[in-house]
């Protein structure tokens, strides 16, 4: 709960109190905004956003972001070939078009607006024949069960996992989907359990704190960021990537940063995959029709500039 501070030295603001609620269930968040019991919702599944576009009682604000989504691959439990095979098995177009409903475009680990982005790095396309070859070469058999872990309550994540499951089943490989409470997923991701005790893959995504590829990549993929030291929850451990990230950190010019990042992307996407990189996200925040002054921010995603917002009387 945020209450107005009466001794604030700046201009007066419209709202006396702002109440921020954490509501994990998609269906509940939609009900709250449609009923008028909430004035804004930061996250909804794409199909709900599309449906709400025609609701005169709300407004849908869509904007490009720096968020990239991926499926982290367990570096200790999956060989390079197995990880490459999973990248080929992923149904990219189905995910973009059927689940995300166009609120995304296929992308690697950094957005195309972030310094260091390199459009020349080739992304994977779905190729089930090549996927089968590489999975087999990588030691995965039809009797093995791969585990995909995600947080419960997220309809899009569940749908993505199920389409991936179906794609792998088409070539004879088994993917088990494990849904856990979000707090349990976070505890695992940022805890100290060894990679051997973690699933083969988990749903994830990230955006930088500021426009810089190092800031996006270091927490997620540097060997020093594994486990509780950062966000490298699948223990990606490519030594060359670690060295290149150190170079990016110490870069004195933008050109040096871009050069180091380009090499990193080639390794992480193609040569020694860290994840199934699949989307750069377009976000939508839904507000009551009478709310004014909201300004979306592609880096500070799903944030609210409360101090500049107000409620307008609508007749």
Tens digit of each residue's pLDDT (9 = 90 or more) over 77-98 = 999 999 999 999 999 999 999 9
Q: pLDDT tens, 181-202?
A: 999 999 999 999 999 999 999 9
Q: Is the pLDDT of residue 42 over 70?
A: yes
Q: Is the pLDDT of residue 315 over 70?
A: no
Q: What is the CA radius of gyration of the chain?
A: 21
Q: pLDDT tens, 234-292?
A: 999 999 999 999 999 999 999 999 999 999 999 999 999 999 999 999 999 999 999 99
Percent of the chain whose pLDDT exceeds 70: 100
Quote the pTM value.
Answer: 0.87
Q: Exposure string (b/e) for 268-301, b if CB count within 10 Å is 16 or more?
A: bbeebbbbbbbbbbbbbbbbbeebeebebebbeb
Q: pLDDT tens, 55-74?
A: 999 999 999 999 999 999 99
**Residues 310/15, Cβ–Cβ less than 8 Å:** yes
Q: Is the pLDDT of residue 313 over 90?
A: no
Q: Which CATH number fits domain 2-64+284-311: 3.30.70.20, 2.40.110.10, 3.40.190.10, 3.20.20.70?
A: 3.40.190.10
CA–CA dist 26, 48 (Å, integer): 9
Q: pLDDT tens, 203-231?
A: 999 999 999 999 999 999 999 999 999 99
CATH of domain 65-281: 3.10.105.10
Domain ranges of the chain: 2-64+284-311, 65-281
């Amino acid at each position: 709960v945020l209450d107005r501070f009466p001794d604030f030295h700046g201009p007066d603001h419209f709202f006396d109190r702002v109440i921020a609620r954490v509501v994990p269930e998609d269906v509940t968040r939609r009900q709250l905004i449609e009923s008028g019991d909430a004035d804004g919702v930061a996250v909804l599944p794409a199909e709900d956003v599309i449906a709400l576009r025609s609701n005169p009682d709300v407004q849908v604000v869509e904007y490009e972001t720096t968020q990239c989504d991926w499926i982290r691959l367990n570096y200790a439990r999956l060989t390079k070939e197995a990880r490459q095979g999973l990248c080929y098995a992923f149904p990219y177009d189905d995910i973009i078009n059927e689940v995300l409903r166009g609120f995304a475009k296929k992308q690697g680990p950094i957005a195309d607006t972030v310094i260091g982005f390199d459009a020349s790095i080739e992304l994977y396309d779905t190729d089930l024949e090549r996927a089968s070859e590489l999975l087999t070469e990588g030691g995965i058999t039809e009797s093995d069960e791969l585990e995909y872990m995600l947080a419960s309550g997220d309809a899009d994540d569940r749908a993505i996992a199920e389409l991936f499951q179906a794609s792998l089943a088409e070539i004879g490989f088994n993917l088990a989907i494990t849904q856990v409470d979000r707090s349990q997923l976070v505890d695992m991701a940022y805890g100290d359990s060894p990679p051997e005790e973690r699933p083969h893959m988990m749903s994830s995504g990230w955006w930088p704190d500021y426009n810089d590829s190092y800031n996006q990549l270091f927490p997620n993929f540097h060997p020093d960021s594994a486990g509780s030291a950062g966000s490298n929850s699948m223990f990606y451990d490519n030594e060359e990537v670690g060295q290149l990230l150190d170079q990016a950190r110490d870069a004195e010019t933008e050109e040096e940063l871009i050069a180091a990042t380009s090499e990193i992307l080639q390794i992480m996407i193609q040569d020694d995959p860290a994840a199934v990189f699949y989307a750069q996200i377009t976000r939508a925040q839904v507000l009551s029709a009478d709310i004014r002054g909201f300004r979306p921010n592609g880096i500070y995603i799903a944030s609210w500039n409360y101090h500049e917002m107000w409620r307008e009387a609508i007749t």
